Amino acid sequence: MSCSVNIKNLSTSRDGVRLYENVTLDVSHKEKIAIIGPNGCGKTTLLEIIAGLRPLEEGTLELFHQPMNSLDEFKSMRHLIGYLFQDSDNQFLAPVVEDDVAFSLLASGISKEEAKLKTAMMLQDLGISHLAKKIVYHLSGGEKKLVALAGVLIMEPKLMLLDEPTNGLDQAMQLRLIDILGRIDKSIIIVSHHKEFIELVVEKIYEITPTGLSCSVNLKNESNHHHDHGDHPHSH
Ligand SMILES: Nc1ncnc2c1ncn2[C@@H]1O[C@H](COP(=O)(O)OP(=O)(O)OP(=O)(O)O)[C@@H](O)[C@H]1O
């Protein structure tokens, strides 16, 4: 199986308190999954570990079949990973919306003209062209989320880590996001408390427990889903 993320026996603590142990997770190429669990159980922490923003304490992590043993090894993977932070204010790289969305594209070396065109298309796709000249810090919470999302999507990452992507979005925008994520042919890990949303977007939902992840739902492929007792095709 071609895997974007492969985690084995990961254990994590924060401030000396064990959040979970023995987390094992495979996210295959183009698979969309969600991670749920109560406040403070460590969902964001897990995304940070996958993104290389937090060191791995115990266990192993491979991204695209490459072992990630140190934060340095994540550097070669950064361009493949798009991370939407829970707090959009942590995401912005430039004060004006269109400059912020184009920032990483320009940093990757594409021409100003191409970056401008791609940015305009991205803003249009998300229905936020009217925000192009606005100051990011003057936007509403939902508008900030959409601009941050535009900055992630425009890089066409192979793995997207989305932390509470629907926070602050009204119903019309949630539906637009469901449509956009449905069209994306990439691996996506969504952390969310928004059950109705994730059920429409992902194939599997994993719940974090102190003793690992349990796959609570497999919505799109009922006959081939994961159980703690092993992975094999079967039906109930
Ligand atoms: N920078 C930090 N320093 C110390 N402890 C932290 C830090 N950030 C988070 N924590 C703690 O780590 C634990 C896990 O936090 P995390 O943000 O991963 O949880 P979460 O499952 O994403 O929660 P939520 O659903 O509320 O977003 C919490 O107890 C939190 O207080």
ipTM: 0.95
Q: Is residue 232 scored above 50 in pLDDT?
A: no
| Ligand 1 atom with the shortest distance to the CA of 41 | 21
CA of 148 to the centre of ligand 1 (A): 21
230 pLDDT above the threshold of 60: no
Q: Of 150, 179, 175, give the one whose Cα is nearest residue 162.
A: 150
Predicted local distance difference test score (pLDDT) of residue 219: 63
- What is the per-residue pLDDT across 101-131, written as a single tens digit (0 to 9) for each? 999 999 989 999 999 999 999 999 999 999 9
Cα 181 to Cα 87, 178, 231, distances in angstroms: 20, 5, 26
- What was the pLDDT predicted at 211? 87
Q: Which residues line ligand 1 (CB under 6 A)?
A: 14-15, 19, 37, 39-45
In tens, the pLDDT along 79-90 reads: 899 999 999 999
- The reported pLDDT for the residue numbered 215 is 86
For ligand 1, atom 13: residue with the closest CA: 40
What residue has token string 């609570």? 216
CA–CA–CA angle 46, 30, 26 (5° rounding): 45
Atom 25 of ligand 1: nearest residue by CA position:
39
Sheet-wide strand order for 17-28 = 17-28, 3-14, 58-63, 66-67
Q: Which atom of ligand 1 is nearest to the CA of 38?
A: 25
Q: What is the CATH number of domain 3-89+157-231?
A: 3.40.50.300
Q: How confident is the model at residue 1, as a pLDDT?
A: 64
**Taking 50 as the threshold, does the pLDDT of residue 14 lie above it?**
yes
pLDDT at 59 over 60: yes
The alpha carbon of 127 and the centre of ligand 1 are apart by a number of angstroms equal to 32
Residue to probe by mutation, ligand 1, list 35, 45, 83, 167, most atoms within 8 Å of CB: 45
Q: What is the pLDDT of residues 188-228, one digit of tens each?
A: 999 999 999 999 999 999 999 888 888 876 665 544 444 44
The residue to mutate among 44, 167, 193, having the most atoms of ligand 1 within 8 angstroms of its beta carbon, is 44
Which of 218, 227, 186, 203 has the alpha carbon at shortest distance from 29? 186
176 Cα to the center of ligand 1, angstroms: 29
Residue nearest to atom 6 of ligand 1 (CA): 14
User: For the ranges 50-54, 218-222, 228-232, which has the lowest average pLDDT?
Assistant: 228-232
